[in-house]
Amino acid sequence: MKISLAQINYHIGNFERNISKIIDGIKKGEMDGSDIVVFSELAVSGYPPRDFLEFSDFVNQCQDAVNTIAKKCTKVAAIVGLPTYNNNAKGKPLYNSAVFLYNGKILSITNKTLLPNYDIFDEYRYFEPNNVFKVINHKGKKIALTICEDLWNVQDNPLYSVNPMDELIDQNPDFMINIAASPYNYHQTKIRKEVLRKNAQKYDLPLFYVNHVGAQTELLFDGGSLVINSMGETIDELLYFEEDFRTFDLKDVLSHKNVEYTENERIEIADIHDALVMGIRNYFHKLGFTKAILGLSGGIDSALTAALAAEALGSGNVYNVLLPSKYSSDHSISDSIKLCENLNMPYDIIKIEDAVSAFESTLDPFFRGLPSDIAEENIQARSRGVILMALSNKFGYILLNTSNKSEAAVGYGTLYGDMNGGLSVIGDVYKTQAYELSRYINRDKEIIPENIITKAPSAELRPDQKDSDSLPDYDILDEILYQYIENRKGPKEIVKMGFGKPLVDRILKLVNTNEYKRYQTPPMLRISTKAFGMGRRMPIVAKYLG
């Protein structure tokens, strides 16, 4: 028996495109002489469809799509993910399902049992959990089919009281298939492999695992579909961050024959880089846009964002605008120009002083000679915002936001100013990681000018301003933020790790009192286990540590 894994980049709600890609996969499977082509979780709709699932019109279109696809499954069977109706009188209206298609029709439906409802996942919002367990019989083989989270309940303190494979194993399956939509973060690739390996070993069965690939707004699906033998060894691994299609002979997998595969260690910073590039590219292309605009400040964040965008969209499609004020240093201009020249990106210099002066003189009667403060600093950032958005509106660019996670965390940014943008490229990248990424981009030659990487970070909103005037060193800040945000440690626990109590209290208070700003930021490409946005839901009006 031959099994094909189709690792595809779906587009949520774009049924025409998703159907066509799935049918292409079926054809490829036929050409490979395959017996089953496996597509990933909710392939037909794209993942996550979110509240589109509350529209019966949307769910009906998924049904129609799978009926169209079924007709193509005459020579080869297919496993395809989609939402289906729960026809019982009780429970949530839908299941998260996988249909088994053969002989031109739907032969069986398998529903997902374990519904993740943490971090970015909301599956219990829509789906009723499955409680019926049946292997699929195909050409004399028994297949234990599960959906994503169904295999993830193998930790010491399990989140769920059921294990679907514990039920299926009694029916003596020959192998396991798991269809997934498992988004990337820089710990996930390793953890995912361990979880899948554990399953193969625990149930003494080979596992064929198909993951999504591609970006869905902020969620980055890394692909990396896997074939693992019953000893837990990787037989093959599909591409990361790209579509891929491969066919395997079950015989080879059962005999542990590993034809040409040698497992490579993933390089974390390279994966983060590739994930962000894919995130930008998919955001633009799926929205039907080609060109980005961004403000280049001379600092590392905007330089890094521009370099990533140039790789994602092509240098010619990244329009850089330098928006100096009277506080901008000469090197901010020259370094930015050098970056644009290094990458051959178009740029312009647009001075903000006329706009800033106009606002200042308009407001002068109301500011009554009060000393210059954050109000004036923000006028600069917001004037830049207006200019960038005007160019975006006029010429159809999408504005890229260039804030990093450290700033977003402590509220070091101007709402409706530098916090603008359709997409935040590095909003889940700590400042220290931004340096690492920049060095990675420069691994072969200088792309981001060295001076941008080495100079002291500054917002340049007043004379001789430095980030370090108001924030601790980023090494320390990022470590405290990581413990608070990713590890959800409280102030006492972080102080115990060796940080000063006043500093910890100050940072945590900044994070909590700036929730209102992050509520209004663009979606941030997610690379960590805990990104701002859908995966981190905090009250705005609250007092805890605030």
Subset of 74-113 contacting a copy of itself (CB under 8 A): 89-92
Closest contact distance (angstroms) between CB of 95 and a copy of itself is 14
Residue from 351, 455, 462, 506 binding a copy of itself (CB under 8 A)? 351
539 touches a copy of itself by CB under 8 A: yes
282 touches a copy of itself by CB under 8 A: yes
Count of other CB atoms within 10 angstroms of residue 322: 22
Q: Which of 41, 123, 237, 377 is catalytic?
A: 41
349 touches a copy of itself by CB under 8 A: no
Give the per-residue contact string, 285-304, with a copy of itself (x = CB under 8 A; - = no): -xx-----------------
Strand partners, 248: 3
Decide: 37 and 28 in contact? Cβ < 8 Å.
Answer: yes
158 touches a copy of itself by CB under 8 A: yes
**CB nearer a copy of itself, residue 125 or residue 190:** 125
**CB nearer a copy of itself, residue 328 or residue 342:** 328
523 touches a copy of itself by CB under 8 A: yes
- Looking up tokens 């004020």 gives 325
Q: Which 49-78 residues touch a copy of itself, going by CB under 8 A? A: 49-52, 54-58, 60-61
The answer to whether the Cα torsion of 47, 50, 54, 55 is positive or negative is: negative
Span from 97-105, 197-205, 252-260, 370-378 in contact with a copy of itself (CB under 8 A): 370-378
519 touches a copy of itself by CB under 8 A: yes
497 touches a copy of itself by CB under 8 A: no
Task: Provide, for the chain, the percentages of residues in helix, strand and coil under a 3-state DSSP scheme, each rounded to the nearest 5.
Answer: 40, 20, 40
394 touches a copy of itself by CB under 8 A: yes
**CB nearer a copy of itself, residue 195 or residue 391:** 391
333 touches a copy of itself by CB under 8 A: no
Dist CA 114 CA 152 (whole Å) = 8
Q: Which 408-427 residues touch a copy of itself, going by CB under 8 A? A: 415-416, 420, 422
**CB nearer a copy of itself, residue 76 or residue 508:** 508
- The CA distances from residue 239 to 78, 225, 360, in Å, are 21, 7, 54
The answer to whether the Cα torsion of 417, 423, 428, 433 is positive or negative is: negative
- 148 is an active site residue: yes
Helix pair 431-441, 268-287: axis angle to 10 deg: 90
- The CA distances from residue 272 to 71, 113, 438, in Å, are 40, 31, 12
**Three-class SS of 197-247:** HHHHHHHCCCEEEECCEEEECCEEEEECCEEECCCCCEEEECCECCCEEEE
506 touches a copy of itself by CB under 8 A: no
Contacts of 297 (CB under 8 A, 6+ apart): 323, 332, 336, 402, 460
Q: Which of 62, 73, 148, 340 is catalytic?
A: 148
Count of other CB atoms within 10 angstroms of residue 541: 7
Residue from 125, 326, 439, 501 binding a copy of itself (CB under 8 A)? 125
Decide: 24 and 4 in contact? Cβ < 8 Å.
Answer: no
- 41 is an active site residue: yes
493 touches a copy of itself by CB under 8 A: yes
Catalytic residues: 41, 112, 148
